[in-house]
């Protein structure tokens, strides 16, 4: 039996991008959605029809009925409230805590993870070692804060996986993903045992695996000769 929630939801953005976060969230909620794999690499995001949805020309964005929204974490928090499920916060305090940790991930970790990811794409001899080292060093304190929190509560809201865990994990997952290119990335996350175990549990969830498979297929299509 199909247990997915029927919606008029469209997710815009290739899975080979931060749209992964919203696809993961939709799958956690069991939403029936339409996917439009808009890609900035092909200029899709600068077309007039898409700029009418997101004037910034970034992905992801969603259209839910007549409502449009962009910024991946805002989208995920919206979906958690609009379509309540097991990953949705219960009540105002949990919702505000989920927002708090989502903003924390963006302000304390996201830029540094992006720096490391972009450097990993460069040929070995063209990487900026000082920039990579600075990014890792800048994350030590916030990761220590998170290590203490997870050691105390297991999950961000305590007791169960929620949108808060999903949002934060979607940022930190960059580190083990690039371990083959930058071995120190794996060493850094492994240095925080509780965070490492928590991240593994997040990424082993069926919805995360399904979204990750979509992302891998999208990346493979980009690399595949036309």
Tens of pLDDT, residues 151-195: 999 999 978 999 999 999 999 998 887 877 788 777 777 789 999
Within 10 A of 166 (CB to CB), how many other CB atoms are there?
26
Decide if domain 5-86 falls under CATH 3.40.30.10: yes
pLDDT > 60? residue 2 = no
* Residues in contact with 222: Cβ distance below 8 Å, sequence separation at least 6, in sequence order: 16, 41
For residues 176 and 174, what is the distance between their CA atoms, to the nearest angstrom?
A: 6
More confident residue, 117 or 96: 96
Structure confidence by residue, pLDDT tens digits, 78-89: 999 999 999 999
The Cα 103–Cα 106 span in angstroms is 5
Domain ranges for the chain = 5-86, 91-207
CATH 1.20.1050.10 correct for 91-207 = yes
């Amino acid at each position: 039996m199909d247990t997915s929630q029927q919606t008029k939801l469209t997710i815009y953005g290739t899975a080979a991008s931060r749209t992964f976060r919203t696809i993961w969230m939709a799958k956690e909620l069991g939403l029936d959605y339409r996917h439009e794999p808009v890609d900035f690499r092909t200029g899709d995001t600068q077309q007039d029809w898409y700029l009418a949805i997101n004037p910034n020309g970034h992905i992801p964005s969603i259209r839910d009925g007549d409502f449009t929204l962009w910024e991946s974490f805002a989208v995920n928090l919206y979906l958690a409230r609009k379509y309540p499920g097991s990953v949705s916060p219960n009540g105002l305090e949990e919702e505000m805590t989920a927002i708090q940790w989502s903003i924390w991930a963006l302000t304390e970790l996201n830029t540094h993870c992006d720096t490391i990811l972009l450097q990993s794409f460069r040929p070995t001899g063209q990487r900026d070692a000082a920039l990579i080292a600075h990014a890792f060093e800048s994350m030590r304190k916030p990761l220590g804060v998170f290590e203490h929190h997870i050691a105390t509560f297991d999950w961000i809201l305590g007791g169960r996986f929620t949108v808060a865990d999903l949002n934060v994990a979607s940022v930190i997952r960059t580190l083990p993903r690039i371990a083959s290119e930058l071995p120190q990335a794996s060493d850094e996350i492994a240095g925080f045992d509780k965070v490492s175990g928590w991240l593994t549990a997040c990424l082993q969830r069926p919805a995360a695996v399904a979204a990750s498979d979509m992302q891998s297929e999208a990346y493979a299509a980009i690399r595949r000769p036309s």
